[in-house]
Amino acid sequence: MRVGFWWISVYTLRFTAGALVGLVWLWQRAPRVGLDRRTMRFWVCGVALAALIAGRVGYALGNTAYFTQHPALLLRLDRVGGLHGGGAMIGTLIAVGLWSIVSHQPVSILVSFLSPAVLFVAAGAWWGCMDAGCAWGREIIPVTDGARWFTAPLPDVYQTMTPRYAVQPMGAVWALTLALLAAALGKHGGLALALYWFGSAGLTWLRADPVPLLIAPTAANLRLDTVLDLALAVSITLIMLLKTKGTRRGRTI
């Protein structure tokens, strides 16, 4: 899509759609959980910036060969886009931890507050990857009857169309379903976010995009994103199960 001199990719449009839905959710939800919208706006911008920086760093670490040759493009998201989902989540958790310290709100409450928005963004990213070809699935040729429900003719990053595991559609549906679940769970919404990362770790077994491998001497080599997604899932689960207390306006919450 071209707007004047600017070319906006389909991925950007779909990712932005997910982000806008998430922002609208946070804006209308804030008063219900006792958060001032002005303060919330500042911290949400901080969380988004931390996610952007950490996501970009994660993407660069996964593509070190390219960025070593083209270091100037590291900051040029308009030329070479790419964010690492796990890295973005790490940045989000770091910013939320700082938010919790400053505001004296329990981390679990803030994670639950943000979870639907995070998952709407994730759904938009997966949806965008269906066009851009990022996070593509393994090829299945020929397609067997048992795998037919999980395959589709989708592109890889080189726009090669072939029957493959429909990782991006499955990821988008998974994220959207859990976004709605997180919204329904309220203060326990972080559990839906943890469940999303467990599912994301499972999807890595069907992916074909190259990522660094974790060398295991006694077992098959694991994709690094599998380990990272599982670590995020366990970490968020522990955050939600941890009985933290915070004070706000002299009351324990």
Name the amino acid, one letter, at 143: V
pLDDT tens-digit series, residues 6-20: 557 788 889 999 999
* Residue 241: exposure state from Cβ atoms within 10 A (0-12, 13-18, ≥19): exposed
The model's pLDDT over 111-142, given as tens digits with 9 standing for 90+, comes to: 999 999 999 999 999 999 998 888 999 998 77
What residue type is 13 in one-letter code?
Answer: L
User: Is pLDDT at 244 greater than 50 in this prediction?
Assistant: no
CA atoms of 36 and 104, how far apart (whole Å): 14
Residue with tokens 């931390």: 50
**pLDDT category of residue 251 using cuts at 50, 70 and 90:** very low
- Please report which confidence band the pLDDT of residue 189 belongs to, taking 50, 70 and 90 as the band edges: very high
Average pLDDT over residues 78-90: 82
Report how far residue 140's alpha carbon sits from residue 151's, in angstroms, rounded to the nearest whole number.
Answer: 8
User: Measured in whole angstroms, how far is the alpha carbon of residue 149 from the centre of its chain?
Assistant: 25
pLDDT tens digits along 216-231? 655 567 888 999 999 9
Residues 61-81 pLDDT 10s:
877 877 788 787 787 776 666
Structure tokens that stand for 189 in this block:
């919404």
Q: What is the pTM of this model?
A: 0.88
